Amino acid sequence: MDKKNPKLIVVFSGGNAIGKTTLSRKIEKELGAIVIENDEIKRHLKALLGTADANVLSPITWKYTQTLYGRLQELTQNGLIVRDGVIDWYYDRLIPIFERYGYSMFIVGYDLSREKSRDLIQKRGDTPTFLEERAYLLLEDHEIHIKRFREHYTPDIMLDDETVFDHERVVEAVRERLAGL
């Protein structure tokens, strides 16, 4: 990719089926970001390995993405990266990698009611790499990890039940951060 941006990684603090991929693609289109989408990586690994078993795919996806994050500066001059996945569960392992390679972080936070979260999960339904039923089961765990993450990090922008799809506001905030780097 020929686009050059300062080193900024956009991460999401929230849950499943909240519009991360849609927002990631908008940031990609509007600002020329590189999107690293865990679900897409899992889809490719699923096809390559011939299994959908999360116990197999998850550790391989994890190892692959950790290697990829460490190699980004070798692979592209574009420093604007969007990690299309929640940061809350593994922030203590991921953020040191980003920091080691000189990335600033922009956090998009979601503060959605349980009802809104359930509604969005139901609307999305099953995907090739994630089942709706599992998303419902993880709601409580997500809340625990979100709370833990936010004890250490404050989102740069918050989206709630009313603003969950206000992607223009997020793009503009990312644009402003880039201009300040």
Enter the CATH code of domain 5-180. 3.40.50.300
Closest Cα partner for 69 from 137, 22, 9? 9
Q: Is the pLDDT of residue 157 over 80?
A: yes
Cross-strand bridge partners of residue 127 = 130
Per-residue confidence band for 40, with pLDDT thresholds at 50, 70 and 90: confident
Domain residue ranges in the chain:
5-180
Q: Where are the beta strands (DSSP E) in the chain?
A: 5-13, 34-37, 78-86, 104-111, 157-160
In this prediction, residue 96 carries a pLDDT of 94
**Distance between CA atoms of residues 166 and 81, nearest Å:** 20
The whole-model pTM stands at 0.89
- The answer to whether 105 touches 11, Cβ cutoff 8 Å, is yes
Q: What letter represents residue 164's amino acid?
A: V
Q: What letter represents residue 169's amino acid?
A: R
- Which stretch of 59-68, 85-94, 105-114, 125-134 has the lowest confidence by average pLDDT? 125-134
